[in-house]
């Protein structure tokens, strides 16, 4: 148990307030959601365990949706252990037990305080390592995507009701078939477009795994030196001997709050009698093809991709001259123009990260939205209204799974198992 200034002990459940009264020896509770200084007393022998700040949150207005108590104790290990041991001794009367990882958040989900997507956003927030990951996770945890889903769900239900009206009451005078069906198809088309726009946005996995930035070019063009400068540490061997780098070197870095994976590659030559060097060159070409952003450090006229950043990386050399067609000239040794190169890289990276206020979806979320888009496409292409209704039913099923209202029990165990005990 690590040393801390304050230790927060949280109790959630229908007996929480009774436990509070027992450990404060019947002292006045005070107002909910207000911190009160109280003595925590061991009910077994009356010993004072600690002077703590005590708060309580009546159901349903707590983070778990249940009665909830928090004791903000001093963080010494002996104090925390004494309080937990005293709680354990009351487990027979109050059915107390230690929370499992993520149990408080899971109870919040089960009691309707948050939906599944907000819970996933909280998990991402706890694991965030870069600024872009933090911003995206905050939007998801704050319910930005959940509110969008609720709007989509409302529109989908309205369309389903209109379709049922067409099927059940098409022979009634007060249901204008042609007008209703045309309006229905227009509404479904707009809904499908909104979903497709979200589906086209960058994914959460891209934010976590990083943007692949590959350095490539002929031997002895400064690739490894530039890689070390971008990484901020010595990760590649630097030498004037051509062919020093014989295989790909990958290093994860944080550049301007964005996760990148930098890849240094073997120098490209037309012919080589060294079988190991040929393998390295093949891997270099594979990395170039798969790169999100390519830094080309060779002859600009021989650059293999139109979208590459053409870099002259040895501006510090006495014999250096500016090649025609380069986008930027830098010195990784002196640092000259390195800030400008980083700014250029960040501009190229913008299309791989969510824009301001945009959410990034995980694979599960993207699959569900894709299923809804496919169902709406099938519905719009269908002439038989009965079959069209079946496609809308499939879209609603995907929506329920996305929100967490059906068929997600196994996934829940995996998700909440990623949380710490206190969450």
User: What would the DSSP string read from start to end of 301-352?
Assistant: GG-S-TTSEEEE-BTTSTT--PPTT-SEE-BTTT-TTHHHHHHHHHHHHGGG
- Residue identified by tokens 């994914």 is 203
Which of these three, 333, 352, 371, is where a domain ends? 352
Nearest CA to 221 out of 318, 303, 298, 305 is that of 298
Q: Do 278 and 348 sit in the same domain of this protein? A: yes
**pLDDT value, residue 419:** 65
For residues 223 and 235, is the Cβ–Cβ distance under 8 A? Answer: no
Nearest CA to 346 out of 245, 254, 208 is that of 254
What would you report as the CA-atom Rg of the chain, rounded to the nearest whole angstrom? 30
Task: Tell me how far CA of residue 255 lies from CA of 109, 350, 362, in angstroms.
Answer: 35, 12, 22
Domain encompassing residue 221: 207-352
Residues 6+ apart with CB under 8 A from 325: 300, 301, 310
233 in a structural domain: yes
* Angle (CA) 70 74 79, round 5°: 95
Q: Do 82 and 171 sit in the same domain of this protein? A: no
Q: Do 227 and 278 sit in the same domain of this protein? A: yes
The domain that holds 212 is classified in CATH as 3.40.50.300
Whether the CA torsion 382, 387, 388, 390 is positive or negative: it is negative
112 in a structural domain: no
For residues 277 and 196, is the Cβ–Cβ distance under 8 A? Answer: no
pLDDT in tens, 271-305: 655 666 567 777 888 888 888 999 998 888 888 88
**pLDDT value, residue 245:** 47
Which of these three, 318, 352, 386, is where a domain ends? 352
Nearest CA to 370 out of 195, 154, 206 is that of 195
Low-confidence ranges of the chain (pLDDT < 70): 1-2, 169-178, 235-248, 269-278, 356, 405-423
Stated pTM of the model: 0.69
33 in a structural domain: yes
CA pair distance 320, 316, nearest whole angstrom: 7
Q: Do 162 and 240 sit in the same domain of this protein? A: no
Q: Do 263 and 160 sit in the same domain of this protein? A: no
Q: Do 215 and 191 sit in the same domain of this protein? A: no
The domain that holds 20 is classified in CATH as 3.30.1360.120
Centre a 10 Å sphere on the Cβ of residue 124 and count the other Cβ atoms it contains: 23
**pLDDT value, residue 394:** 94
Q: Do 169 and 214 sit in the same domain of this protein? A: no
For residues 40 and 21, is the Cβ–Cβ distance under 8 A? Answer: no
Which of these three, 307, 322, 352, is where a domain ends? 352
**pLDDT value, residue 274:** 60
Please give the tally of structural domains in the chain: 3
Q: Do 212 and 327 sit in the same domain of this protein? A: yes
């Amino acid at each position: 148990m690590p040393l801390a200034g304050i230790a927060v002990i949280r109790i959630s459940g229908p007996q929480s307030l009774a436990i509070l009264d027992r450990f404060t020896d019947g002292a006045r509770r005070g107002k909910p959601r207000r911190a009160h200084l109280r003595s925590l007393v061991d009910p077994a022998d009356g010993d004072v365990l600690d002077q703590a700040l005590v708060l309580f949150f009546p159901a349903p207005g707590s983070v778990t949706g249940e009665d909830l108590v928090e004791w903000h104790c001093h963080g010494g290990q002996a104090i925390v252990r004494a309080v937990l041991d005293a709680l354990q001794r009351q487990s027979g009367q109050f059915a107390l037990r230690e929370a499992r990882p993520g149990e408080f958040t899971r109870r919040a989900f089960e009691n309707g305080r948050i939906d599944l997507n907000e819970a996933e956003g909280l998990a991402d927030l706890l694991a965030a390592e870069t600024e872009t990951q933090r911003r995206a996770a905050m939007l998801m945890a704050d319910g930005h995507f959940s509110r969008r889903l609720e709007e989509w769900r409302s529109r989908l239900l309205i369309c389903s009701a209109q379709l049922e009206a067409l099927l059940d009451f098409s022979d009634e005078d007060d249901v204008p078939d042609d007008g209703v069906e045309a309006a229905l198809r227009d509404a479904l088309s707009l809904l499908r477009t909104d979903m497709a726009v979200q589906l086209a946005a960058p994914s959460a996995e891209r934010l976590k795994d990083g943007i692949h930035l590959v350095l490539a070019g002929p031997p002895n063009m400064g690739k490894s030196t530039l890689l070390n400068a971008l990484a901020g540490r010595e990760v590649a061997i630097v030498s004037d001997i051509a062919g020093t780098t014989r295989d790909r070197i990958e290093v994860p870095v944080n550049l301007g709050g964005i996760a990148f994976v930098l890849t240094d590659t073997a120098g490209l030559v037309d012919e080589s009698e060294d079988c190991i060097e040929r393998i390295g060159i093949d891997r270099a070409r594979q990395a170039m093809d798969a790169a999100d952003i390519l830094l080309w450090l060779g002859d600009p006229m021989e650059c293999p991709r139109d979208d590459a950043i053409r870099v002259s990386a040895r501006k510090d050399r006495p014999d250096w001259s500016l090649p025609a067609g380069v986008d930027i000239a830098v010195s990784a040794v002196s640092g000259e123009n390195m800030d400008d190169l980083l700014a250029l890289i960040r501009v190229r990276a913008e299309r791989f990260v969510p824009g301001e206020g945009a959410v990034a979806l995980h694979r599960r979320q993207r699959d569900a939205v894709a299923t809804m888009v496919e169902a709406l496409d099938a519905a719009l292409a269908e002439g038989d209204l009965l079959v069209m209704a079946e496609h809308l039913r499939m879209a609603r099923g995907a929506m329920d799974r996305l929100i967490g209202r059906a068929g997600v029990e196994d996934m829940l165990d995996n998700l909440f198992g990623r949380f710490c005990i206190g969450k």
